[in-house]
Amino acid sequence: MSKPAYLIVDAKSSDPQAMQRYRELAQVAVANYGGRYLVRGGEYQVLEGDWRPQRLVVVEFPALEQARSFYDSPEYLAARAVRAGVSSFDMLLVEAC
Beta bridge partners of 51: none
Task: State the pLDDT at residue 67.
Answer: 98
Q: Please state, rounded to an integer, the average pLDDT across all residues of the chain.
A: 95
Residue 27 scores a pLDDT above 90: yes
Task: State the pLDDT at residue 32.
Answer: 98
Domains and CATH numbers, the chain: 5-95 (3.30.70.100)
Q: In the Cβ-directed half-sphere of 30, how many Cα atoms lie within 13 Å? A: 20
Q: Is the pTM of this model over 0.95?
A: no
Task: State the pLDDT at residue 76.
Answer: 97
What ranges make up the beta strands (E) of the chain? 5-13, 36-40, 55-61, 87-95
Confidence of residue 90 (pLDDT cuts 50, 70, 90): very high
Per residue in 56-76, pLDDT (tens digit) is 999 999 999 999 999 999 999
CA of residue 47 relative to chain centroid, distance: 22
Confidence of residue 1 (pLDDT cuts 50, 70, 90): confident
